[in-house]
Amino acid sequence: MIEDETSSCSILLIDDEPFAQQIIEHGLKTCVKHVLHYESSPARAVDLVRELGITVVLVDLRMPDLDGFEFTRRLRATSDTEHVPVIMLSSEDDPEVKAQAFAAGVNDYMVKWPDPRELVARVQYHNDACIARRERDAAFASLRLSQQQLAESQSALHQAQKMEAIGQLTGGVAHDFNNVLQIIGGNLQLLKLVGNLNDAARTRVEMALAGVERGAKLSSHLLAFARRQPLQAVVLNPGHLLREMDDMMRRVLGPNARIVTDIGPALWSTVADPNQLNNVLLNLAINARDAMGGNGSLLIRASNAGGDAADRHAALPPGVAAGEYVLIEVADTGKGMPPEVLQRAFEPFFTTKPVGKGTGLGLSMAYGFVKQSGGEIVLDSEVGRGTSVRIYLPRSAVEAAQPEEAVEVPLFGGLETILVVEDEEDVRDSTCAILSALGYEVLEACDAAGAVEIVESGRHVDLVFTDVIMPGPVSSLQLGEAVRRHLPSAQILYTSGYAEGVLAHEGKVSASVHLLQKPYHPDALSARIRHLLRRGRNGAQAASSAGATAN
pLDDT tens, 86-104?
Answer: 999 998 889 999 999 999 9
Helix 95-104, helix 68-76: angle, nearest 10: 20
Q: DSSP 3-state assignment of 500?
A: strand
Question: What is the model's pLDDT at position 173?
Answer: 73
329 DSSP β-pair partners? 301, 390
What backbone phi and psi angles, to 5 degrees, belong to 39? Answer: -145, 130
- Cα(186)–Cα(498) distance, rounded to whole angstroms? 18
**Strand partners for 9:** 34
Contact criterion met (CB below 8 Å) for 546 and 500:
no
Residue 283: half-sphere exposure toward Cβ, Cα within 13 Å: 24
CB 418 within 8 A of CB 462: yes
Q: What is the pLDDT of residue 382?
A: 87
> Which among 106, 71, 67, 66 has a CA at the least distance from the CA of 87?
106
Question: Where do the H-state alpha helices sit in 90-115?
Answer: 95-104
349-385 residues labelled b (16+ CB within 10 A) or e (exposed): eebeeeeeebbbbbbbbbbbbbbbbbbbbbbbbeeee
- Summarize pLDDT for 44-90 with one digit per residue, the tens: 888 888 888 888 999 888 888 888 888 889 888 888 888 999 999 99
Q: What are all long-range contacts of 167-170, with beta carbons under 8 Å and residues at least 24 apart? A: 167/225, 167/226, 167/227, 167/228, 167/368, 168/226, 170/222, 170/223, 170/225, 170/226, 170/348
The pLDDT, as a whole number, for residue 7 is 47
Contact 466, 448 (CB under 8 A): yes
Pairing of the two strands 325-332 and 386-394: antiparallel
Q: What is the pLDDT of residues 124-173, one digit of tens each?
A: 999 988 888 888 988 998 898 888 888 877 876 776 677 667 666 666 67
Alpha carbons 68 and 89: distance in angstroms, whole number? 9
* Residue 420 confidence (pLDDT): 94
- Taking 90 as the threshold, does the pLDDT of residue 361 lie above it? no
In the predicted model, what is the mean pLDDT of residues 256-275?
85
As a whole number, mean pLDDT of residues 245-270 equals 82
pLDDT at 2: 40
pLDDT at 348: 63
Measure the CA–CA gap between 60 and 412, rounded to whole angstroms.
106
- What confidence category does residue 336 fall into, taking pLDDT thresholds of 50, 70 and 90? confident
506 pLDDT above the threshold of 50: no
Question: Cα(249)–Cα(449) distance, rounded to whole angstroms?
Answer: 48
> pLDDT > 90: what percent of the chain?
16
Is the separation of the CB atoms in 183 and 424 below 8 Å?
Answer: yes
> Quick check: 384 pLDDT over 60?
yes
Read off the pLDDT band of 502 (50, 70, 90): low
Q: For residues 212 and 227, what is the distance between their CA atoms, to the nearest angstrom?
A: 22
> In which band, very low, low, confident or very high, does the pLDDT at 232 lie, cut at 50, 70 and 90?
low
Distances (CA, A) of 132 to 46, 85, 287, 317, 491: 21, 12, 57, 40, 79
Render pLDDT for 438-470 as a digit per residue (tens, 0 to 9).
Answer: 889 999 999 999 999 999 998 999 999 998 888
Q: Which of 363, 356, 373, 319 is nearest to 342 (CA)?
A: 363
Q: Indicate if the pLDDT at residue 380 is higher than 60.
A: yes
CA 277 to chain centre: 16
The pTM for the full model equals 0.48
In b/e form, how buried is each residue of 298-334, taking b as 16+ CB within 10 angstroms?
Answer: bbbbbbbbbeeebbeebebeeebeeebbbbbbbbbbb
- The CA distance from 122 to 111, in Å, is 13
Query: Distances from the Cα of 340 to the Cαs of 55, 344, 350, 382, 383, in angstroms?
Result: 46, 7, 12, 11, 11
| Mean pLDDT, residues 179-197 taken together | 82
Mean pLDDT for the stretch of residues 279-290: 83
What average pLDDT does range 196-204 have in this prediction? 83
**Which is it for the CA torsion 269, 271, 300, 382, positive or negative?**
negative
Q: Is 488 exposed, middle or buried (0-12, 13-18, 19+ CB in 10 A)?
A: exposed
**How far is the C-alpha of 464 from the C-alpha of 454, rounded, in Å?**
11
Kindly provide the b/e burial profile for residues 189-219, where b requires at least 16 CB atoms within 10 angstroms of the residue's own CB. bbbbeeeeeeeeeeeebeebbeebeebbeeb
